[in-house]
Structure 1
């Protein structure tokens, strides 16, 4: 099922307790980040003092959802040395943190004994799983969503295993 930002935003707004996101790719080729990545490679960096220049509407949505008491956590499993794309993500992650997300990083070599789903996912309130399917070049292909209890338990367990080992954003250096 493909999903627009608006329907994803509606889904995220419906969350009552928690939204967790596991990312496992070393590069993404998603449309809304290509320009930012190219600018970053040319030396552009986000200004911590200029909140208006940060990624909108995503950060507004995060702030809205966390403002009503929802816990948002994101874990990223990354290869080391990290790719340029991960350096780009890391350099801008302070904006996600400022908006209310808690983010951790796990070096891939520390995840070898973890059972992880084959795709990145979001887990909403421990019951709705949204898998984000990407092609080999990191371009988003489709979204698959399920409320299957066994799949939700698998994703919750995988996320918590990564989270337990992962390094908080403010302590992880690239």
Structure 2
């Protein structure tokens, strides 16, 4: 396998447990890793990130084959997993560690993210402003092993959390036509 053809994308959209499956199940995805990024603490733990003192947010790092899955398509999948109008967190999870962010790896990704955000704002799908941040990618720290592939390891807990947090209901309401 030619490793050089793969690219990375990093998205923060609230609880990282809920951000893995929508990407992991797509063609061209090599890996989706839950982790922490955007802060100042080196190798933070889950407890440290949840304290809101590290500056990090929960995120997923996606390794993808751009010949099979474009970055543009990944950004579109991202929008359909989040409430882009809530800068204080996502659904039941509030605080800076749950803020919505698209972390870009290069100028092309930044331009794609900015254009997509503007298109979503202009679409009229949301009455409020789209407040998702678009920021340069920084060091990404994989989360503890028990957080990885949570939807596979703990399907009942994952399903209950996805529904109980309000995420599923929101997605069904806002994106039923997609």
TM-score by structure 2 length?
0.28
TM-score by structure 1 length?
0.28
